[in-house]
Homo-oligomer: A and B are copies of this chain.
Amino acid sequence: MVAAAAGVSRATVSRVVNGSTSVAPEAAAAVHAAVEALNYVPNRMARSLASRRTDVIALIVPESTSTVFADPFFAPVVRGVARALSDTDYTLNLLIASESRPEKTRRYLLGGNVDGALVVSHHASDHSYLGLGDTLPIVFGGRPVNPELADAWFVDVDNRASARLATEHLLARGRTRIATIAGRQDMPAGIDRLEGWRDALGAAGAPADRVEFGDFTQASGAAAMERLLAATESTGAATGTGLDGVFVANDQMAAGAIRTLLSHGLSVPGDVAVVGYDDDTFAATITPPLTTVHQPSAELGAQMAQVLVRRLAGDTPPHRTLIPTHLVERDSS
């Protein structure tokens, strides 16, 4: 080590470089000067070998490159992770996994290249990384589905609380006959958002019996709204009086529902207030602009990073971190 030519031993240089305590001020100064003069950069491989840590965290996105760049979900997540990590000494390492052979990624992860990994994906059907959890600290993000992941670490958006929030907003606006268009019941997003709607209505003592299901597409939202309207009319109530608010499990379906409402001559939010979920790219531009629950993707990334960093620091954060959301109030409610 050339820097030792600054009067001290390799050990002392190491101490200084790593900001260790118990080093004489003058010795430290000498080392710093030498480091500066020699333009010294410690070799990370050697350091890692000796210290058994890399200071690198991998962010694994098990999608094709095109998807990663096309899908509006990933960008904020990456940004959130990067931001959270920039406060630390960890370097971020984006691994677009499906581009190369999975085996390559696996070896990379297991080969001691990183101290921990973040895995983010839409579809939790990918089991590739489950086994790694025992060897390498991993934090999953996005929308967990696998039941076997009970012992894993997760960061997720609190769908249930968010749906409750949205429904309570409808209640606060004076709406009393609130229906919901729920999503597919084989996904957490579908199940939890329906539960949240029930929570809010139950707590308010209002009946939670007007439910129709869709599959998150705009067409299914329009159809579900038709059914809701038909059921309401058959109860004998005057048009519009049997229903004055709807919580829709995502913005796409909400757009469809509004279309149906308007085509029936009902006004939004005059006759029926609508609240969606996602705050997707179109939420602000449809007519009327949609009140919806904002999906905090950057926050998801940031929290994932933080949970992993805490684990790496020897801390034991909770296995499941739920991120609160917030309502974006626009004109549809």
Show the binding face of A for B, using Cβ within 8 Å.
41-46, 48-49, 54, 56, 64-66, 68-70, 74-75, 78-79, 82-83, 85-86, 91-96, 99-101, 104, 107-108, 110-113
Contact = CB atoms under 8 A, between A and B. Distances in A.
Given A41-B110, A69-B74, A69-B78, A93 B93 contact: yes
Given A43-B111, A48-B45, A110-B41, A96 B82 contact: yes
User: Which 6 pairs of residues, A with B, have the shortest CB-CB distance?
Assistant: A69-B75, A44-B111, A94-B94, A82-B99, A65-B79, A45-B48
A54 B85 CA distance: 23
B70 A75 contact: yes
Given A92-B99, A94-B95, 8 more contacts: A42-B111, A56-B113, A65-B75, A65-B78, A66-B75, A69-B74, A69-B75, A94-B96
How many copies, total? 2
A91 B108 contact: yes
B112 A99 contact: no
Contacts of A108: 44, 91
12 contacts: A43-B111, A44-B108, A45-B48, A45-B49, A56-B113, A65-B78, A79-B99, A82-B96, A83-B99, A92-B99, A93-B93, A94-B95
